[in-house]
């Protein structure tokens, strides 16, 4: 079907007119175990409860457990089968969820590891995401900054990042963002990249070098405005969002707005704070009962917050369509 | 800087027609975010960068929170009268006639007026201003790193628990800035500081 591309670069999904494919959101984090699978499964369920057709794709290859978060049995078809298949479309690998217009493409297969994924296999996956029959495709990514993970991330039109209020998670979040932005800069023309590299080595004031993306974009704007426009255009293709998970103290709720502000100052790009989720034992209870949290405890604070987050993003999408 | 430096509005991420409350909120948010041991900037900015950022934030606030200074600054930026400071009030100078516009019924009557004309800033008035602005004492303690006991003592004018005058002046200034009052005005009109000398 769509197997004829030899593109060396990552396929640019959002360059396609919106009407011809699903909207793609990726859920990522710098550190593991901070709630990506909880968030992607819950956002997916919330969207489908709003009547949107949703397909969740478990791209945490090597650690895939999204089916468990959704209360589904261990899948018998996976992405691995799709990668190996020659003549079946990606839609044949979607496992439907009961009662809701939602499905899962699982990544839970022995031997399917993000580190071992070959370039053409990754390309095949990314290229086919937009052929999935759905309104929304939600990617649950593995933790960390593996190139394949970053490429899945930057293929999405929204990147949703989960962080927990502790310094290791925050540190890894910023590392993840730096890596994702750096990866994204490979998408601009070579000349622009070269100029950018030169600016990053320049002095700023008396002794300090230009260190932040914000400062280098600013310098680029002064020196080479037409290249600055190209860069900004590339960076603006993806909207970034932040969720603070596992909040224990009231003061932890200050973290989200502060991280958003710090990121804006550092990267010169908006990172929108979507809200926080309390640490909630019912999340673990649902998991132990092999039930999806959102639909099992819909009255819990965390479930309500997740519904709000999904609604806010839907609202942004409908505004951008208008 | 090789690029153009951000103006005070850009620095605080507010619009040039921001209200005084917008300015206070943005200032508090920025101050909290870029304080020395902030978790939110961990591994992103180093100490020196945080120090510079704090300095810029204080400068921006000192100008934008003062009606005259803001007007002059707006003129320098080339903002027109409509977008600029005309018709706005700073945090602590509000004409009597706008009091009714956004002072809700449940708010203490005339607090804006009283804070604008106060010749004495009693602890009680300070607490009223703080509550009027919806700011928790705990939040001020967190931002300024001044202990809650001292802040409480300031509002109670509890001289047994207030620090030495030299410290008290510093604390009081920070506290005043947090609740959107002119620090110098408050220090000059706070009873426990007048009694001492
Ligand atoms: N807000 C919360 N309150 C209580 N437990 C939570 C919360 N969020 C996540 N958990 C629990 O933390 C664990 C990790 O969550 P989850 O699997 O969603 O994280 P992850 O980022 O997908 O992890 P990994 O990096 O391993 O894929 C799970 O046991 C989950 O139930
Ligand atoms: Mg996971």
In the reported structure, the alpha carbon of residue A71 is separated from the centroid of ligand 2 by a whole-number distance in angstroms of 14
- Cβ–Cβ < 8 Å for A184, A234: yes
Q: What would the mean pLDDT of B17-28 be, rounded to a whole number?
A: 91
Contact B30 A261 (CB under 8 A): yes
- Cβ–Cβ < 8 Å for A74, A111: no
- Cα–Cα distance list, B1 to A218, A223, A250, B41, B176 (Å): 9, 13, 38, 21, 33
| Per-residue pLDDT at A17 | 44
* pLDDT of B87 above 80: no
Task: Using CA coordinates, name the residue in chain A closest to B12.
Answer: A261
Best mutation target, A249, A253, A265, to test chain B (most B CBs within 10 A): A265
Residues above pLDDT 70, as percent of chain B: 81
**How far is residue A240's CA from residue B103's CA, in Å, rounded to a whole number?**
37
DSSP letters for B90-113: BTTB--GGGHHHH--TTSPTTHHH
- Cα–Cα distance list, A161 to A31, A213, B191 (Å): 10, 19, 50
Q: Decide whether any atom of ligand 1 lies within 6 Å of the A38 Cβ.
A: yes
Confidence band of B6 (pLDDT split at 50, 70, 90): confident
| Residue the block writes with tokens 């405005």 | A225
- Cα–Cα distance list, A293 to A297, A298, A301, B179 (Å): 6, 8, 12, 41
Best mutation target, B2, B11, B57, to test chain A (most A CBs within 10 A): B2
Check residues A262 and B83 and name the one with the higher pLDDT: A262
Residue ranges of the domains in chain A? Answer: 19-186+239-315
SS3 A162: strand
**How far is residue A143's CA from residue A146's CA, in Å, rounded to a whole number?**
8
Identify the CA nearest to A63 among candidates A159, A144, A125.
A144
Chain B environment of A244 (Cβ under 8 Å): none
Q: Model-level pTM? A: 0.78
Identify the CA nearest to A306 among candidates A317, A316, A295.
A295
**How far is residue A249's CA from residue A223's CA, in Å, rounded to a whole number?**
46
Contact B1 A199 (CB under 8 A): no
In the reported structure, the alpha carbon of residue A41 is separated from the centroid of ligand 2 by a whole-number distance in angstroms of 10
- Give the contacts of B106 (CB within 8 A, at least 6 positions apart): none
| Per-residue pLDDT at A197 | 86
Q: pLDDT tens digits for B89-139?
A: 444 444 333 333 333 333 445 677 778 778 899 999 999 988 887 788 988
- Cβ–Cβ < 8 Å for B143, B119: no
CATH topology of domain A19-186+239-315: Rossmann fold (3.40.50)
What is the full per-residue pLDDT of chain A (322 aa) written as tens digits?
343 433 333 343 443 444 579 999 999 999 999 999 999 999 999 999 999 999 999 999 999 999 999 999 999 999 999 999 999 999 999 999 988 999 999 998 888 888 889 999 999 999 999 999 999 999 999 999 999 999 999 999 999 999 999 999 999 999 999 999 999 988 899 999 999 888 887 766 655 678 899 989 988 998 899 999 999 999 999 999 999 999 998 889 899 999 999 999 999 999 999 999 999 999 999 999 999 999 999 999 999 999 999 999 999 999 888 7
Q: pLDDT tens digits for B25-68?
A: 999 999 999 998 899 999 999 999 999 999 999 999 999 998 89
Identify the CA nearest to A252 among candidates A280, A271, A278, A283.
A278
Domains in chain B (CATH in brackets) are: 8-77 (1.10.287.110), 119-196 (1.10.260.40)
Q: Decide whether any atom of ligand 1 lies within 6 Å of the A160 Cβ.
A: no
Mean pLDDT of chain B: 81
| ipTM for this prediction | 0.84
Nearest chain A Cα distance for residue B164, angstroms: 30
Nearest chain B Cα distance for residue A115, angstroms: 27
| Per-residue pLDDT at A35 | 97
Contact B43 A254 (CB under 8 A): no
| Per-residue pLDDT at A46 | 97
């Amino acid at each position: 079907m769509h197997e004829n591309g030899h593109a060396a670069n990552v396929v640019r999904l959002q360059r396609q007119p919106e009407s011809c494919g699903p909207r793609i959101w990726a859920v990522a984090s710098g550190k593991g175990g901070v709630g990506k699978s909880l968030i992607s499964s819950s956002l997916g369920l919330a969207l489908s409860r709003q009547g949107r057709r949703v397909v969740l794709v478990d791209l945490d290859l090597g650690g895939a457990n999204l089916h468990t978060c959704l209360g589904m049995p261990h899948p018998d078809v996976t992405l691995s089968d799709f990668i190996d298949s020659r003549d079946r479309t990606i839609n044949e690998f979607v496992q439907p969820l009961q009662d809701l217009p939602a499905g899962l493409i699982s990544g839970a297969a022995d031997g399917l590891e993000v580190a071992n994924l070959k370039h053409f296999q990754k390309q095949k996956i990314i290229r086919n995401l937009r052929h999935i029959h759905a309104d929304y495709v939600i990617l649950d990514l593995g933790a960390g900054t593996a190139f394949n993970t970053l490429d899945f991330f930057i293929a999405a039109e929204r990147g949703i990042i989960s962080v927990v209020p502790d310094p290791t998670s925050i540190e890894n979040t910023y590392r993840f963002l730096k890596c994702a932005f750096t990866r994204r800069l490979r998408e601009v023309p070579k000349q622009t990249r070269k100029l950018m590299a030169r600016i990053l080595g320049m002095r700023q004031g008396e002794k300090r070098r230009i260190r932040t993306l914000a400062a280098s974009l600013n310098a680029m704007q002064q020196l080479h405005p037409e290249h600055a426009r190209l860069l900004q255009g590339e960076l603006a293709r993806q909207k970034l969002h932040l969720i603070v998970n596992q909040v224990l103290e009231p003061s932890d709720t200050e973290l989200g707005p502060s991280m958003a502000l710090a990121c804006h100052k550092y990267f010169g790009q908006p990172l929108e704070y979507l809200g926080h989720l309390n640490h909630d034992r019912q999340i673990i209870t649902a998991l132990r009962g092999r039930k999806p949290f959102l639909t099992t405890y819909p009255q819990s604070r965390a479930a309500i917050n997740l519904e709000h987050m999904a609604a806010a993003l839907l609202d942004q999408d409908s505004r951008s369509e208008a | 800087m090789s690029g153009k430096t951000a103006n005070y509005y850009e620095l605080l991420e507010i619009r040039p027609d921001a209200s005084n409350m917008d300015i206070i909120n943005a200032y508090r948010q920025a101050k909290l975010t870029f304080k020395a041991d902030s978790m939110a900037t961990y591994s992103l900015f180093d100490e020196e960068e945080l120090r510079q950022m704090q300095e810029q934030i204080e400068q921006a606030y000192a100008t934008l929170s003062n009606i005259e200074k803001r007007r002059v600054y707006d003129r320098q930026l080339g903002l027109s009268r409509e977008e600029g400071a005309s018709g706005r009030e700073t945090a602590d100078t509000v004409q009597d006639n706008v009091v009714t516009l956004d002072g809700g019924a449940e708010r203490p009557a005339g607090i804006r007026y009283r804070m604008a004309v106060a010749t004495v800033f009693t602890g009680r008035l300070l607490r009223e201003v703080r509550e009027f602005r919806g700011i928790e004492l705990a939040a001020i303690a967190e931002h300024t790193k001044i202990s809650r006991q001292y802040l409480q003592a300031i509002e109670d004018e509890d001289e047994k628990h207030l620090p030495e005058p030299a410290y008290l002046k510093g604390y009081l200034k920070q506290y005043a800035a947090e609740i959107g009052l002119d620090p110098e005005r408050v220090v000059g009109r706070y009873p426990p500081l007048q009694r001492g000398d």
